[in-house]
Structure 1
Amino acid sequence: MKKLLLATALVALSGGIAAAQTVRLGTEGAYPPFNFIDDAGNVAGFERELGDELCKRAGLTCEWVTNDWDSIIPNLQSGNYDVIIAGMSITDEREKVVDFSENYVPPADSAYVGLSADADVKTGVVSAQVGTIQAGYVAESGATLLEFPTPDETVAAVRNGEAVAVFADKDFLAPYVAESNGELSFVGPDIPLGGGVGLAFRESDDELREKFNAAIKAMKAEGVLNPLIEKHFGAAAKKF
């Protein structure tokens, strides 16, 4: 009987250990090519491929969770998932409430896109996604900031005349410009913002953060991260 109880306890313990290794990855699912929902209803894009590879290298079983951008940090802190992998730029302001991994996308450029290349982005109405570093930049630029919950809405605001331009990651905007048949144009020079894109963790999850950091470093050292960036963002994308 004692052996049976011991065996049962060991099975329960091992089950608990296995459960503890299941990590929930929170993403937006609305920010291609970083992340989006495919026709089958699954998370797809650069971060899906990257996240699955990082979990494999870290020896973790990962589950994907989608969450609206404007509440993505509060829901990390409340325990709805364990990691944010959602095209989130590393900033000093965000570092006050979350801990970041090292970046898995180098510091990239933001850009304005309007219906004409001479749109007044200095004093006009400029759209940006709420809670982004681009929204913060516009708010301090002298332009009138018009915020939307989703990135698609920021582009739609330009097309329907609510804003003279949208300000966002250039990697996000480039496909819209390329596929617009000349309707949309980049406005002015590119603007570098942020410290690159990283995973965000609760400040108490140092051990988990280090597991992912080790996997990111290994991918960089082995030369497999840059080809993944190029696959999703194109040959001109900034790399490590």
Structure 2
Amino acid sequence: MKKLILSTAALALTAGFALADTVRMGTEGAYPPYNFINDAGNLDGFEIVLGNELCKRAGLTCEWVKNDWDSIIPNLVSGNYDTIIAGMSITDERDEVIDFTQNYIPPAASAYAATSADADIMGGVVAAQTATIQAGYVAESGAALIEFATPEETVAAVRNGEADAVFADKDYLAPLVDESGGELVFAGDDVPLGGGVGMGLRESDTELKAKFNAAIDSMKADGTLNALIVEWFGPDAATY
């Protein structure tokens, strides 16, 4: 990965915070390119690189914790880790339970992928990951929703004929479509959902939220966040 260069502003930010603080960062490890387990068995991806840089700028030490998606919010609330950084879209419903930093990925498109561009995405069977904004959208669309615990299972359901299409973040689906050799194609129009992707925190952790917001601000200001987005999601990705 390309090494990020700390700006003067970021160094000043780091100097203002205690360097000994350790923050436990909860992530799924199953949603490339946001987060995944690499060939060496380690957590990797856009959010791992981003989270480590944000901790550095905030004067904090990251400690990564892998957690399944369907229990990721309850385990934050119960104190098993201090943040969620796992491709989580900011929504009003989630904001009633936890708090969020500002977004570090702008609001982006969700999309349908299928084995045919003519797949029945409005009246057929559509797969989505449990407890996602995409699952909520499908449930209200008129299609028959089939939910799975992991994103890999949603795509497998299309490949094995269990579902007519999968609905997910386009950033997640795009490389799968590109690498499928024509087996998977996009169907229908892109759908904008959510308020972008942000870090989830307990509502009581206002100081930690302020530190991470300041770090995100510094990365937006010096261009390193945009560079990281393009590195992981490609030149057509939405940036700041």
> Which amino acid counterpart does residue 215 of structure 2 have in structure 1?
A
> Which amino acid counterpart does residue 96 of structure 1 have in structure 2?
E
The aligned residue for residue 156 of structure 1 is 156
The unaligned stretches of length 5 or more in structure 2 are: 1-17
Whole-Å separation in 1 of the counterparts to 2:155 and 2:48: 24
The aligned residue for residue 167 of structure 1 is 167
How many residue pairs were aligned? 224
The aligned residue for residue 30 of structure 1 is 30
Identity of aligned residues (%): 73
The aligned residue for residue 186 of structure 1 is 186
1:172-220: per-residue Cα shift (whole Å, max 9, x none)?
A: 0001100010011100110000000000000000000110000000000
Alignment of 1:122-141 (within 5 A): 122-141=122-141
The aligned residue for residue 61 of structure 2 is 61
Contact 2:19 2:59 in 1 (8 A): no
> Which amino acid counterpart does residue 73 of structure 2 have in structure 1?
I
Whole-Å separation in 2 of the counterparts to 1:54 and 1:207: 15
Shift of 1:42: 1.1
Q: Which aligned runs of 4 or more in structure 1 are off by greater than 6 angstroms? A: none
> Which amino acid counterpart does residue 47 of structure 1 have in structure 2?
E
1:78-98: per-residue Cα shift (whole Å, max 9, x none)?
A: 110000000000000000001
Whole-Å separation in 2 of the counterparts to 1:19 and 1:103: 24
- Give TM-score scaled by structure 1 length: 0.92
Secondary structure of the 1:140 match is helix
The aligned residue for residue 7 of structure 2 is none
Whole-Å separation in 1 of the counterparts to 2:176 and 2:220: 29
> Which amino acid counterpart does residue 191 of structure 1 have in structure 2?
V
Shift of 1:19: 9.9
Shift of 1:223: 1.0
Whole-Å separation in 1 of the counterparts to 2:22 and 2:170: 34
Whole-Å separation in 1 of the counterparts to 2:99 and 2:54: 17
Contact 2:19 2:60 in 1 (8 A): no
Whole-Å separation in 2 of the counterparts to 1:86 and 1:20: 24
The aligned residue for residue 210 of structure 2 is 210
1:146 matches 2:150:
no
Distance 1:225 1:59, change over 3 A: same
Shift of 1:160: 0.2
Secondary structure of the 1:102 match is strand
Shift of 1:20: 7.1
> Which amino acid counterpart does residue 233 of structure 2 have in structure 1?
F
> Which amino acid counterpart does residue 86 of structure 1 have in structure 2?
A
Structure with the greater alpha carbon radius of gyration? 1
The aligned residue for residue 94 of structure 1 is 94
Distance 1:222 1:19, change over 3 A: closer
1:144-171: per-residue Cα shift (whole Å, max 9, x none)?
A: 0000000000000000000000000000
The aligned residue for residue 85 of structure 1 is 85
Whole-Å separation in 1 of the counterparts to 2:43 and 2:230: 19
Secondary structure of the 1:220 match is helix
Comparing 36-45 with 163-172, which one deviates more in the overlay?
A: 36-45
> Which amino acid counterpart does residue 62 of structure 1 have in structure 2?
C
